Amino acid sequence: MKKILLLMVALLTLGGVNAVKAERATKTPLLLLRNGVINTNDFDIAPIAPSTLTADNLYAATFTSKGGFCNTFKYENLDVSGYDKAVVKYTIEEGNGDWEINLPNGQFTALPIGTDQEYEISLKDVDSYGDFTVFSWNHSGKSITISEVYLFKEGTTKILDVDLSALPESSENTSWAWNSSTSTGTFTWTAESWNSTELFGAGDYSAYTTLNLVTAAGTADHFRIIMKFTNGTGQVTITPVAVGTQSIKLTDYVSVIDLANVSTIRLSGAGDCTGDITVSSVYLEGPIATYIEATLVCEAPAGTTDLNGMTGSGNNVVWNVSYPKDMTTGTEWCGNIDRDEKSVDITKYDYLHFVVTSASQGANLGVRVFVSDEERDDNAKRHCLYPHPIKGCDKVDNWEAFSAITGTGTYVVKISDYPLLRGFKGGNSWQDGNAGTVRISQVYLSSGEPVEYPSAKTYVLVGEVPGSGSLAAALADENGAIYDATGVTGTNLELTPANPNAIFVANEGALANNQNVCVNGNINILRLTDGHPFKAPAGATASNAYYSRENMNKWGTVCLPYAVTSSESAQFYSIDGIDGDVLKVTALDNVPAGVPALVNVTNGAFAVRAQGVTLSDVKVSNSTTPLYGTYEYKDITADDAANYYAISNNQFVQATGNIELGAFRAYFTAPKSSPANLRIPAGETTAIEALTGEGDVTVVGIYSANGAQQRSLQKGINVIKLSNGKTQKVLVK
């Protein structure tokens, strides 16, 4: 665990304001106890503080050896249990030779020569210090000045203090007067608005839980605290804040994600009066811990090529692309825009894809993609293309026309007409100034049509306890599908994701979550919530798997990561073809894991459960007319080559524009000659054949010869009731 020492004070400058980062720790001076011995006959001892040497401060002195072996002090069998280290602060004048210090293991080592030295001895796993001494061998007339000797126990909180003496004397209708004799400052505001001064500058403050202030009334008895952020969150004003000693719990006002994206924390005058207050102390405080940090993992989709590691042309360089990349106006990335020898051969690719995972508020950034056409002369060799959102990119007819990245998602550039990719640059040739910042987390190339980047995301978690902004942001991601928590060292932690289908891959005992946790490759309870994205960990199994769907029509589609069996509430079917405007279907007893199917339900709902199953990625159904499933939201778009169909109101509807397909659903394609709408009149091939030519007539019920309702055709005589009021008898042998 990272530690910050109280007496090794570091000065941290944030946004131009000085703040001291330290711990509230336990520092125990070593006094002359009964088991502490000083050999006054061996040294001339000159006290340095206090002016009179006392038993309570014997080490604050200069020890000058009279010759021979001698100890400056000696502690035998000192109880050091619960302490983290022993510290000796000293000065040895240059040329004095070696002074030695005994270590807990009985060995000894020389103290380095120098002024204001600090020697630390680890006491981890040490209960008793058998012989704690600083001694010399034979240095007659030589001296060591020991200013402090103490035991140290690391604190439980970290502190970030504002150096109040460094605040500006004036800012935004305010003045600041520092009184060094009282170590206080007077904050005065002369207007009721725009009246603040900065306490903390831009930074990640998600590790801190409280803002502590010690203030006193002047001509005013209240004030404000203002917080601003870099992630688009609006200004937060804490008001009124009364004078006195107080702790403001930060998460009562802002989220941990916002605390990770602070642009400034300001002391502000009241908004209803002018006046002044006295300020003695301002500091942020939080527990000392190794916080779990979350990192998004981006990988090029199957069938595409990651730009990272591609070999360049000319001098055969390899592009080492660093993800993620924050781009703004003027940012250059990859290759060399002005020289061909660092370009990449893209002759076999048709589209370049950018995965944008974040964009600042109001982002309007053009990312220029520079390509070369070797067939042109030198003056017309370089071309500038712009990425467009993947949705609707088939309508783009001029890729050199400016187009901005304004939000997250997949953006593509058509590169099929150019053999070389030179690199990227933020902005465009006709604009100056800040167009915002976009984060690009993946760049990949595809042959043929553009390939949408999956919306389901994977995060890697590393650390001990929750509390960081990156973890909070990852858990708040509704598309977070897998969280690899094998690097989490804490135990019995409860991590709650926004996506109820998210899977945590963790070590045994790390998480207290009662479902969707994969330990050693197995998920004890897998509970899938309809409509939310899911991603199966590679090779995972589930001891108990649950899925249900409510408020649905009689017919639907389903695609689940584990094998399911037809039941009283749900009969599954495959599609065997199209006959006019009617689907031919075949009943299935079982549906393999990842294979999509049609489902016919009773009572507008169904539930499927399984035990001891192996999870699978989505597979294409093995049927005459294959279904294509999805475990996440999918946008089905009309195509010029074929009709795309998704189910709606008990029939399959052709996509004439876009159809939004939810998680655990399926669609299929058919020739352009197929009808716009396809009926599903029954769940049995024989019944469909019997109804061919009946127009819009559908089957509304199947009964046995004695009138009992059945889910499907059974052996013997079946009575089929039709939507036009007629009945038919079907014999199944």
Per-residue pLDDT tens over the stretch 600-617: 988 888 999 999 999 999
- Per mean pLDDT, which range of 100-114, 285-299, 693-707 is the poorest? 693-707
The torsion of the CA quartet 385, 343, 299, 333, rounded to 10 degrees, works out to -70
**Positive or negative: CA dihedral 442, 447, 451, 457:** negative
- Structural tokens at position 15: 């946004």
The sheet carrying 570-579 orders its strands as: 555-558, 597-601, 570-579, 582-588, 677-679, 651-654, 643-648, 665-670, 627-630
pLDDT one-digit tens code per residue, 39-52: 555 666 665 544 44
Output the pLDDT for position 193. 94
Give the per-residue pLDDT at 25. Answer: 58
Average pLDDT estimate for 683-705: 56
- CA angle (553 as vertex; 547, 555 as ends), nearest 5: 80
**Residue 580 — pLDDT band, cuts 50, 70, 90?**
confident
52 CA to centre of own chain: 59
Q: Whole-angstrom Cα distance, residue 687 to residue 584?
A: 10
Q: What is the pLDDT of residue 145?
A: 86
Q: Which of 348, 282, 365 is nearest to 310 (CA)?
A: 348
Token pair in block for residue 147: 């200013």
Nearest CA to 652 out of 586, 556, 587 is that of 556
pLDDT band at 339 (very low <50, low <70, confident <90, very high): low
DSSP reduced 3-state for 69: coil
* 64 pLDDT higher than 60: yes
- Report the topology of domain 10-158: Jelly Rolls (2.60.120)
The predicted structure's pLDDT at residue 97: 63
307-446 has which fold? Jelly Rolls (2.60.120)
Segment of 583-597, 642-656, 695-709 carrying the highest mean pLDDT: 583-597
Band of the pLDDT at 623, cuts 50, 70, 90? confident
Give me the percent of the chain exceeding a pLDDT of 90: 46
List beta partners, residue 412.
Answer: 353, 388
SS3 call for 269 = coil
Delimiting residues of CATH 2.60.120.430 domain(s) in the chain: 163-287
Backbone angles phi, psi at 68, to 5 degrees: 80, 175
Rounded to two decimals, the pTM is 0.70
CATH for the stretch 163-287: 2.60.120.430
Task: Of 324, 318, 321, 320, give the one whose Cα is nearest residue 296.
Answer: 324
pLDDT of residue 313: 58
What average pLDDT does the chain have?
A: 83
What integer pLDDT is reported at residue 684 of this predicted model?
Answer: 46
Q: How high is the pLDDT of residue 470?
A: 93
Q: Report the distance separating Cα 394 and Cα 372, nearest Å.
A: 22
Q: Confidence class of residue 400 from pLDDT cuts 50, 70 and 90?
A: very high
Q: In this predicted structure, what is the pLDDT of residue 29?
A: 65
> What residue spans of 413-517 are helical by DSSP H?
469-476
pLDDT at residue 679, as a whole number: 81
